[in-house]
Structure 1
């Protein structure tokens, strides 16, 4: 007993020290978004109905059935008539794209967004400690991050990462990677660049599951500046409060739902098959089971649990349109859904019991800019900002789905009222549109 009493102060000191250390580490693990910039392609890259018809007519592999499929799917896709594609496709060289076409496309997209980012924030390229690119279908040597480092003459000890093959959810992966880096590197600045290479990936075949990529994917990108330096907190737009990554690649159906492959004619393409909606729903459900308890008030979680077990005991059926059961809006103010496809947006809305106001930003981003792959979430966020929806203290749930199959979601807290018109400048008043049909 005497020995225990003698050791008690030491034990208490150890416990207090570790609790303090844990609290200090958690406090120090912050991730602020200082700014973001989306790329807006030139007018001569716009895929209007006339340009679309011209490109389709060049594909000699198509028959009557394929033409009918293209017309029907394009009209109902949720894609508008002002989206853009790479220059080489507009010039009729989609089947003979060169390495220089790909490099030129990436340079134009990435440098434009990064130039604007530095100009807007006043941060010098020499201050950047980490840089991450997320481009699925193009991985050159030297890498894309190396090209950016060379252009801006960045520091020699910069940490560079190039993410490939991760599809539309790669931007959220890159954000989570930066968050992990911030745990080790204090007072750092990081840039995330999210886009997709299309110049050599336009599908000229007749496989309907591969033709979908031509209808949906368009030119676009985003660059995001992040920091964990608390001296910049008052200048930050948002703070990352939570991020959860879910990967169900062990499931064969999910793994094959988004797949780069060759068709029966040996033509490369990106296949989106019938298992995609099912894989997306499964991955989203698994992700939200982990994420929501971290952001939803405890009172709402308890209410849901009580209701769930009561219905289970009384054997009450759950309505198909009941959503997740939890009141998401008790902890989330805005929903930034990946603008991948009209069916994806509508499916996410039904699963989460979201209304037209919640889904409007994703629908308008898809309509105006198309599916810009991993950069798409930021066009949705830009719409919210341009429409002056984001107020200090609001919480934003970003939902992204991508090949693998994966679902990567994160929650941002708005640090101040934001209302920059950004990439939506000069067209904000035109949206929302009265119809999402494409006359092509």
Structure 2
């Protein structure tokens, strides 16, 4: 059998005499398959990453070894001379020590206090509020003034959205016609907020009167008294509680609320902060026929989360995570970004939220700005050097076609909680950040099981990862959220222990069914 990697060379002698032509076979070196090349490059990059990460240690070890050897060679006379020198410079040593102690004390008193995430709870609505595709379309035909084109548009969006058959709508939307009034909207808010808060207080054994800071965010429903006042009234919080109510800040308001609570915990010491993130659907359903305003009907569903934060050192032992960084990006100065998610009335006077066709491009720009700030805070030095070298090369060689280097954020984070705003959002981040399917699994499965629950979606995703038993001590979690304005906000958490799901987790009786296969 002829070797496919051999080259045949025919000899000229004897060819004209009708004899056989001798054939010399010279073997060529075999080319490595592409997958082996990619594996080799992967390990080269990993080796480079570990080398740069531990470079300081590798440099210090020989220096410490030399110092120890020299110290071992010192005799009694050398030690005696060192002691006499210290006595002669006693005043200098005392002054230096006093300055050192004063500086250390000042640092301890003024350093930022650590913020711990003791626990959190996500609301899971009762099963009777589930809305399968067929029920959604049947109600759409029976309610509102939807024409055939709008109904067909909603059906297509629903089928391609990534939502499953078990998402939830508020009780008012299950009625025919829907009960759209203030009482129903308040009932939805109470059901969601009190549901997750009851579970949070039960799991943590915290007395509500110990809460010193309360931050509530809900973008589209802002009654008087406020949602935060409703919580104060329900749980009889103390009179000097610092309460805040954030409205109109979109799906990224959950990270903003955490950032506000963090700042308040730096001022008010030895206390607890509760953050409640939710959205209200009852009074914000769109009954018109403008296509860009029908999309939220197909994506948004009932959900909410309550998060307990603490600055007490004693809570570190039982806390799940420590807050490491919060990075907020606001693109509202640009008119296109400002109007890409916009609440308005259509030509018939019906109110809804319009989503611009430029939304994904704007979200990509906001993400780029956000990770430019976040990158130096979290990326290992190896990735920062590669990014800087590529940037300098692109500046010096302007005509060269050198692609910008995208840092490998998988070296900085073990888990990603990408806001489940829609299938396109998750796809775009998976592509731009070069993530693998397992990194976006929590986001896709949350979208499938619960839909877009607005600012609380990142907590359902974290609960999914916990329910799968994937979070180990020291793991870093990146929560990324996008919202109207236009904003991109990031929160980075570090696991303080191997994290187990809390009782009454939203995934408690269904996580064994996930991940599910999603249609293309």
1:291-323 CA-partner distances (Å, limit 9, x unpaired):
11111122321122123323554454355xx8x
The reply to whether residue 258 of structure 1 matches residue 331 of structure 2 is no
Q: Which residue number corresponds to residue 472 of structure 2?
A: 391
Mark the runs of 5 or more structure 2 residues left unpaired by the alignment.
Answer: 1-93
Q: Which residue number corresponds to residue 71 of structure 1?
A: 155
With normalisation by structure 2, the TM-score equals 0.78
1:100-152 CA-partner distances (Å, limit 9, x unpaired):
10111111110010000000001110100000100011111111111111111
Quick check: 2:300–2:452 contact (8 Å CA) kept in 1?
A: yes
With normalisation by structure 1, the TM-score equals 0.92
Q: Which residue number corresponds to residue 462 of structure 2?
A: 381
Deviation at 1:62, TM superposition (A): 2.6
Q: Which residue number corresponds to residue 80 of structure 1?
A: 164
CA distance in 2, matches of 1:105, 1:129: 26
Residue 350 of structure 1 is aligned with which of 431, 449, 452?
431
Quick check: 1:190–1:225 contact (8 Å CA) kept in 2?
A: yes
CA distance in 2, matches of 1:374, 1:60: 27
Deviation at 1:13, TM superposition (A): 7.4
SS of 1:410 mapped into structure 2:
strand
Map 1:287-436 onto structure 2 (within 5 A). Answer: 287-314=370-397, 315-318=399-402, 325-420=406-501, 422-436=505-519
Q: Which residue number corresponds to residue 21 of structure 1?
A: 106
CA distance in 1, matches of 2:104, 2:400: 45
Following TM superposition, the consecutive aligned residue runs of length 4 or more in structure 1 with deviations greater than 4 angstroms are 9-20
CA RMSD in angstroms, aligned pairs only: 2.2
1:351-405 CA-partner distances (Å, limit 9, x unpaired):
1111111011000000000000111110010110001111100001110000111
CA distance in 2, matches of 1:377, 1:169: 10
Quick check: 2:142–2:177 contact (8 Å CA) kept in 1?
A: no
CA distance in 2, matches of 1:426, 1:11: 62
1:138-188 CA-partner distances (Å, limit 9, x unpaired):
111111111111111111110000000001000000000011111111111
Deviation at 1:22, TM superposition (A): 4.3
CA distance in 1, matches of 2:215, 2:177: 30
295-304 or 69-78, larger mean C-alpha shift: 295-304
SS of 2:206 mapped into structure 1:
coil
1:27-66 CA-partner distances (Å, limit 9, x unpaired):
x421100000000111111111231122111245333322
Q: Highest relative contact order (Cα 8 Å, sep 6+), 1 or 2?
A: 1
Larger radius of gyration: 2
Quick check: 1:80–1:436 contact (8 Å CA) kept in 2?
A: no
CA distance in 2, matches of 1:318, 1:16: 52
CA distance in 2, matches of 1:255, 1:21: 44
Q: Which residue number corresponds to residue 228 of structure 2?
A: 145
96-105 or 81-90, larger mean C-alpha shift: 96-105
SS of 2:506 mapped into structure 1:
helix
Q: Which residue number corresponds to residue 264 of structure 2?
A: 181
Q: Which residue number corresponds to residue 42 of structure 1?
A: 126
Deviation at 1:15, TM superposition (A): 9.3
CA distance in 1, matches of 2:148, 2:223: 38
Q: Are residues 18 and 251 of structure 1, via their aligned partners in 2, closer, same or farther at CA, if it must alter by over 3 Å? A: farther
Deviation at 1:19, TM superposition (A): 7.0
68-77 or 98-107, larger mean C-alpha shift: 68-77
Deviation at 1:23, TM superposition (A): 5.7
Q: Are residues 213 and 294 of structure 1, via their aligned partners in 2, closer, same or farther at CA, if it must alter by over 3 Å? A: same
Mark the runs of 5 or more structure 1 residues left unpaired by the alignment.
Answer: 1-8
Q: Are residues 60 and 175 of structure 1, via their aligned partners in 2, closer, same or farther at CA, if it must alter by over 3 Å? A: closer
CA distance in 1, matches of 2:518, 2:312: 45
Q: Which residue number corresponds to residue 242 of structure 1?
A: 325
SS of 1:274 mapped into structure 2:
coil
CA distance in 1, matches of 2:279, 2:389: 45
Aligned length: 427
CA distance in 2, matches of 1:194, 1:124: 20
CA distance in 2, matches of 1:375, 1:43: 19
SS of 2:480 mapped into structure 1:
strand
SS of 2:244 mapped into structure 1:
strand
Deviation at 1:348, TM superposition (A): 1.1
SS of 2:282 mapped into structure 1:
coil
CA distance in 1, matches of 2:222, 2:116: 28
Q: Are residues 183 and 76 of structure 1, via their aligned partners in 2, closer, same or farther at CA, if it must alter by over 3 Å? A: same
1:397-431 CA-partner distances (Å, limit 9, x unpaired):
11000011111101000011112161101101111
379-388 or 296-305, larger mean C-alpha shift: 296-305
Quick check: 2:464–2:507 contact (8 Å CA) kept in 1?
A: yes
Deviation at 1:21, TM superposition (A): 2.9
1:249-287 CA-partner distances (Å, limit 9, x unpaired):
010000000011001110000111112111111111111
49-58 or 266-275, larger mean C-alpha shift: 49-58
Quick check: 2:143–2:176 contact (8 Å CA) kept in 1?
A: no
Q: Which residue number corresponds to residue 116 of structure 1?
A: 199
